[in-house]
Chains A and B, each alone.
Chain A
Amino acid sequence: MSTIEKLKKDFEHYRAQADASAFAQQRESAFVELQKLGIPSIKHEEWKYTNLKFINDIPFQASCLHTEAAKTYYTQNIVQTLKANRLVFINGSFEATLTQIQPEDAGIIITNLASARIAHADMFSKHFGKYATVEGIALNAMNTALMSDGAFIYVPEGKQTAYPIIITNISDASEVNVLNQPRNLIVVEKNAAATVIESFFAFGNHASFCNIVNEVYVGENASLEHYKLQRLLGEHYQNNYTQVFQEGNTHINQVTLTLDGKFVRNNLHFYMNGENCNTLLYGLYLLDGNQFVDNHTRVDHAKPNCFSDEKYKGILKDKSTAVFNGKIMVHLDAQKTNAYQRNQNILLSDEATVNTKPQLEIFADDVKCTHGATVGQLDEEPMFYMRSRGIPENVARKLLLNAFADDIAEKIKIPELVAILEEQIEKKI
């Protein structure tokens, strides 16, 4: 049975329970789009280096299994010292017993999407599916048609989160090959401010595939600190799509940390729909073994006087592979755009690979845009210099790699996250 046929069976199961809502309609048309598109192959330009063949090859089940193992895993492996609001999803479904809400943040809606669809129907229908398009994007269509549950965050006008909101997604493949399709919707209204951490874990002896879609709306003059932390062990595949829609005068600091992952594809899109936006997007990937990570980013400067700064850095060991594709689209109206982009990689082995592709498409004439990509090894001169002062090779390497990663670490405003990053660098080197 082909993947699409299998998904069709799942979809018919959903459809049987569906109501006559606009939401059901959205899913219906998403499924039509998915059938039309099929799963993209490497002939598709956007998937040239990233092979989705595993979706056909591995018999995944859309399971919402909650094992005790996952809960134990959560309590043992996830930083509990950080005071935060927490929502936890295991295999795509909501684990309400692990929810934590700080009293100071009672004015902010932090709940699961399935209940928000009923309880906050207005907000849901105003934003859901409005930013992450399904047209031409098969995996978004697949998520929209077959999504399970996810986080719903609503920061009302003028409010600020007192503590970060941590959305944890755990893929537990300890019993079967699981397919998770979570869906998050984050709305930060006018003059509001929020800190959101998306934390991804995977474990278990079977394979898991997490196909997640995040929609983020940031209203006029609002700001968002947004972190993604991917620690994905075992046979885990992840397609992580995020669409951020920004009104004018918004400020966003986004950091993506991929610290482990057999197969990760991040699609991160920003659309600046107003003037004077600041969009900062940074990423760091630390890969070893046969790990593979692909960061596809796209920044749309649709209006004048916006600033974007992008820097992705990678450290690759063993036979790992990284892909970077950064597109900056400066629309005709977007005069006085400032856009910067860099991708820098250090290969610690002859067998590691990086495919990097910056893409600038500029339709306005008064703009400042730069981009650059480097792929190299740890330089021998700094290494020798340090050794000649009595610092042994392994310590010198660690200092140099920490220094390399520091650029990104300093963009992280939560010390607990920096600590996780440093620990991981220590472990991987």
Chain B
Amino acid sequence: MLEIRNLKAEIEGKKILNGINLTVNPGEVHAIMGPNGAGKSTLSSVLAGRADYEVTEGEIMFEGKNLLEMSPEDRAREGVFLAFQYPVEIPGVSTTNFLKTAINETRKYKGLEPMEATDFLKFMREKMELMEMDKSLTSRSLNEGFSGGEKKRNEVFQMAMLEPKLAIMDETDSGLDIDALRLVSNGVNKLRNKDRSFVVITHYQRLLDYIVPDFVHVLYKGRIVKSGDASLAKELEVKGYDWIKAEVEAAQ
């Protein structure tokens, strides 16, 4: 589904990603871990198409299409979803209106008619129940005045509505207390299926207690330096990142 080959990227001349290789197959959950400054958020930004980053080498193929040549909106319409680390507050635009626009623009892209208003509301109600969302959140301005936990849950709710093929979750656990973490993770787990893939970016292992990954990769200095299964995350929790840093230094 997703094929990242030798990806190198920089921002304002500063090299951040130094040759990433990653293959994600349908239905797989990949966790990307790593110390601060390793390039985790850069990777998610490059995948979503944030303009600040310049890709200097390599390629990203998504279902056989060159992702790097697509605008952010086209990536979304092709089925890539980014759950933001810091979801943006948009005063004056309700979550309902926002999602209706997003869904209908995607349908338009695929040559489909816009969703009927009643069908849309029904669909939204179902997803709200599934995600255990408070009804009042959807009529309020998007993320405006939401708590940290509400914002993250709203991201997962949007994911449920947009039904992506690939969801990239950028430090979704940051700033969440344990209850919010459980709610968010439950939401994500309900969306897991044999076709939908996840790239879960996190600094801490605790999110992975709830969202159990198939693969864990350690990102350091802009490269994936170690890969393993879910037990690698446990090991990192116990031992920290220093031993990996040492391994990398020794290998050089």
Q: Contact partner of A389 among B50, B76, B92, B109, CB < 8 A?
A: B76
Q: Are A389 and B102 in contact (CB under 8 A)?
A: yes
**Which residues from chain A contact B50 at a C-beta distance below 8 Å?**
384
SS of A interface (majority): helix
Report whether A390 and B106 are in contact in the complex, using a CB–CB cutoff of 8 Å. Answer: yes
CB distance from A223 to the nearest CB of B (A): 27
| CB within 8 Å: A-B pair count | 74
- Chain B residues whose CB sits within 8 angstroms of the CB of A382 once the complex forms: 88-90
Binds B, one of A43-51, A317-325, A403-411: A403-411
A400 to B77, CA, bound (A): 20
- Which residues in A have their C-beta under 8 angstroms from that of B81? 388-389
- Determine the distance from Cα of A409 to Cα of B70 in the docked complex, in whole angstroms: 36
A375 within 8 A of B: no
> Which bucket holds chain B's interface residue count?
20 to 34
Quick check: which of B93-101, B112-120, B126-134, B179-187 contacts chain A, the rest being far away?
Answer: B93-101
B193 within 8 A of A: no
Closest A residue by C-beta to B80: A388
Q: Please determine whether B73 and A391 come into contact, CB atoms closer than 8 angstroms.
A: yes
Name the one of B51, B77, B84 contacting A385, with C-beta atoms under 8 angstroms.
B84
* Docked CA distance A404–B88 (Å): 15
B141 contact set on A, CB distance < 8 A: 403
Q: Closest residue of chain A to B89, judged by CB?
A: A382
B84 (CB) vs chain A CBs: closest residue? A385
- Is the C-beta of B139 less than 8 angstroms from some C-beta in chain A? no
**CB pair A390 B92 closer than 8 Å:** no
Judge if A9 is at the interface, Cβ distance under 8 Å. no
Contact B162 A407 (CB under 8 A): no
Contact residues of A between 253 and 308, Cβ < 8 Å to B? none
Given known A-B contacts A386-B98, A388-B76, A399 and B93 have beta carbons under 8 A apart: yes
Q: A399 vs B91: C-alpha distance in the bound complex, in angstroms?
A: 10
Cα distance A390–B49 in the bound complex, in angstroms: 12
B71 at the interface (CB under 8 A from A): yes
CB pair A400–B72 under 8 Å, yes or no, is no
Bound-complex Cα distance A403 to B98 (A): 11
Instruction: Tell me the smallest distance from the CB of B79 to a CB of chain A, in Å.
Output: 10
- In the complex, what residues of A have CB within 8 A of residue B197's CB? none
For this complex, into which size category does the number of interface residues on chain A fall?
A: 20 to 34
Query: Which A376-392 residues have C-beta < 8 A from chain B?
Result: 381-382, 384-392
Q: Is A395 an interface residue (CB 8 A)?
A: yes
Contacts of B77 in A (CB 8 A): 390
Q: Please give, as numbers and ranges, the residues of chain A lying within 8 Å of B87 by CB-CB distance.
A: 385
- In the bound assembly, the distance between CA atoms of A392 and B49 in angstroms comes to 13
Q: Are B105 and A395 in contact (CB under 8 A)?
A: yes
Contact B101 A381 (CB under 8 A): no
Selected from A392, A400, A407, the residue in CB contact (under 8 A) with B73 is A392
Provide the residues of chain A in CB contact with B89, threshold 8 Å: 382
Residues of B contacting A391 in the complex (Cβ-Cβ under 8 angstroms): 73, 98, 101-102, 105
Q: Contact between A389 and B158 (Cβ–Cβ < 8 Å)?
A: yes
Give the residue of B75, B88, B92, B162 whose beta carbon is less than 8 angstroms from that of A402. B92
Q: Which residues of A contact B49 (CB under 8 A)?
A: 387-388
Q: A384-B72, A395-B105 are known contacts. Are A389 and B93 too (CB-CB below 8 A)?
A: no
Chain B CB within 8 A of A393 CB: yes
List B contacts of A385 (CB < 8 A): 84, 87-88, 90
Flag A405-429 by CB within 8 Å of B: 1 or 0 each. 0110000000000000000000000
Whole-angstrom distance between the alpha carbons of A407 and B158 in the complex? 26
Partner of A406, one of B88, B92, B101, B102: B92
A255 to B105, CA, bound (A): 34
Please report the C-alpha to C-alpha distance between residue A381 and residue B103 in the assembled complex, in whole angstroms: 20
Contact, CB under 8 Å: A390 / B88: no
Contact among B92, B102, B105 with A403 in the assembled complex (CB-CB below 8 Å): B92
Whole-angstrom distance between the alpha carbons of A399 and B102 in the complex? 11
Chain B positions 29 through 53: 1 when the CB is less than 8 Å from some CB of chain A, otherwise 0: 0000000000000000000111100
A2, B227: Cα distance in complex, Å: 86
Query: Quick one: which of A387, A390, A400 contacts B109, CB cutoff 8 A?
Result: A390
What are the residues of chain B within 8 A of A384 when measuring CB–CB? 50-51, 72, 88
Chain B, residue nearest A398 (CB): B101
**Smallest beta-carbon distance B142→chain A, Å:** 9
- Cβ of B240 to closest chain A Cβ, rounded Å: 33
Could you tell me if B97 and A399 are in contact, using CB atoms closer than 8 angstroms?
Answer: yes
**Which residues from chain B sit less than 8 Å from chain A, CB to CB?**
48-51, 71-73, 75-77, 81-82, 84, 87-93, 97-99, 101-103, 105-106, 109, 141, 158, 162
A-B contact list, 18 entries, CB within 8 Å: A381-B88, A382-B90, A384-B50, A384-B88, A385-B90, A386-B90, A387-B72, A387-B73, A388-B48, A388-B76, A389-B73, A390-B105, A391-B73, A391-B101, A393-B71, A399-B97, A399-B101, A402-B92
When A and B form their complex, which 4 residue pairs have the shortest distance between CB atoms, in order from nearest?
A403-B92, A390-B76, A387-B72, A389-B102
- Further 9 A-B residue pairs, CB within 8 A, beyond A389-B76, A389-B98, A402-B92: A382-B89, A388-B72, A388-B73, A390-B76, A390-B109, A399-B101, A403-B92, A403-B93, A406-B92
